[in-house]
Amino acid sequence: MEHFSGMPNYRNIYFILCSLQMMTKTMLDFAKSMAKELEDQASQNDNGETKVDINKFFSELTVDNISYAIFGSSYKLGNEVFQAQTELLGITMETFLDVPIPGFKYLPTERNQRKWMLERKLKSLLTQIIQPRLATSEYGNDLLGVMLDSCIETKKGGKQEDLSLSLEEIIHECKLFFFAGHENTSLLLTWSVYLLSIYPEWQDRLRKEVCKEFGRESPNPNALNKLKEMTMVLFETLRLYSPALFMQRKTVTNMTVGSIKLPKGMAIVIPIPIMHRDKEVWGDDADEFKPLRFKDGITRAAKVPHGLLAFSMGPRSCIGQNFSMLEAKSTLALMLQKFSFTLSPDYVHAPVDMFTLKPKFGLHVLVRPLDKCN
């Protein structure tokens, strides 16, 4: 298959070498603010609970987390960057199936003008974040800092105007990290809460595990990896409700996969949800929620070691997987300590393909604060 070279080095540097533990502390702080909001809402109702679309809460939480990872203390400005990007993506999606008319994109239509305005806003926001760092040479220890550091280093002795191209590259990288990093984790959390709501015995089991480890104390970032059953539930959620729906590859040589002959240059789509429910790989219970299949780790859960494809595999696999697992664990641990949750009676189960696997009408749950960890 196609070998991907040219992946910028800092991507790995940041997510492998940088202290994920430090980030977990910030993740827990954001999760605590979310929990506080849920508690406040519940306290205003006579029945002591609140009905929320938890998908929206997780979406805001994961935006804050990824924005902090990229922009550090400028994360609020970073959030504005992402809002502009999301709106731009919406415009692109609206026109996705339009027949391309040459030159149309240069006409000052209402949509094009909105697009140009957003592009200008995006650039100006990023410039506001980047310029002060360039001026002081204090690039920061967030992802943006690592990117600036590496772009300056490669241009040692180069002219200042060379940086304009790097700004484009930086914008591109910020976009990639934002889109790759926030929605998938938000969906992992959403589908986990869905499954824990319809399998309350697993919700109780995980709550006991969390309470055994942390009691009423705030989850300790260094001990999150001890939550074995939670890890199994997250993997099983990724198997049944993988946020990423497909991967694309291209063969670089004639090859044979099983009994299928693939010529050089063939484009291949790998449909993750279908592979994740393949009974030949996962067994006859492939459609069932059985987290214990992961009790001996990912590689032993299926009949083949690489059955779980949610984070892909190989040189182009997800570099944010540890980040997202820690984010999901810290948030779920806090949620389980503080609340019980059930599906709202008006919830309609409608997972839908919108590039990622989303709950079409959101995930409405009844959230009830708990007095204490039993």
Binding site for ligand HEM (CB under 6 A): 11, 66, 176-177, 180-181, 184-185, 188, 243-244, 247, 310-312, 316-320, 323-324
The whole-angstrom separation of Cα 370 and Cα 339 is 5
Q: What is the DSSP letter of 68?
A: H
Whether 230 contacts 342, CB under 8 Å: no
The nearest distance, CB 268 to ligand HEM, in angstroms, is: 11
The whole-angstrom separation of Cα 350 and Cα 353 is 10
DSSP per-residue string spanning 297-353: -GGGTSSSTT---TT--STTS-TTHHHHHHHHHHHHHHHHHHEEEEE-TT----EEE
In the Cβ-directed half-sphere of 67, how many Cα atoms lie within 13 Å?
A: 21
The nearest distance, CB 54 to ligand HEM, in angstroms, is: 16
Taking 3-state DSSP, the helix, strand and coil percentages for the chain, each rounded to the nearest 5, stand at: 60, 10, 30
Closest chain position to ligand HEM (CB):
320
Which CB atom, from 18 or from 88, has the smaller least distance to ligand HEM? 18
The nearest distance, CB 86 to ligand HEM, in angstroms, is: 16
Count of residues in the chain: 374
CA distances from 102 to 92, 98, 117 (A): 16, 12, 22
The nearest distance, CB 357 to ligand HEM, in angstroms, is: 10
Which CB atom, from 16 or from 348, has the smaller least distance to ligand HEM? 16
Which CB atom, from 11 or from 358, has the smaller least distance to ligand HEM? 11
Which CB atom, from 79 or from 340, has the smaller least distance to ligand HEM? 79
The nearest distance, CB 371 to ligand HEM, in angstroms, is: 32
The reply, when asked if residue 18 is annotated as ligand binding, is no
Which CB atom, from 65 or from 344, has the smaller least distance to ligand HEM? 65
The nearest distance, CB 90 to ligand HEM, in angstroms, is: 21
Main-chain dihedrals φ then ψ at residue 262, nearest 5 degrees: -120, 120
- Alpha-carbon dihedral 351, 332, 61, 17, rounded to 10 degrees: -110
Which CB atom, from 42 or from 189, has the smaller least distance to ligand HEM? 189
Whether 328 contacts 335, CB under 8 Å: no
Annotated binding site for heme: 318
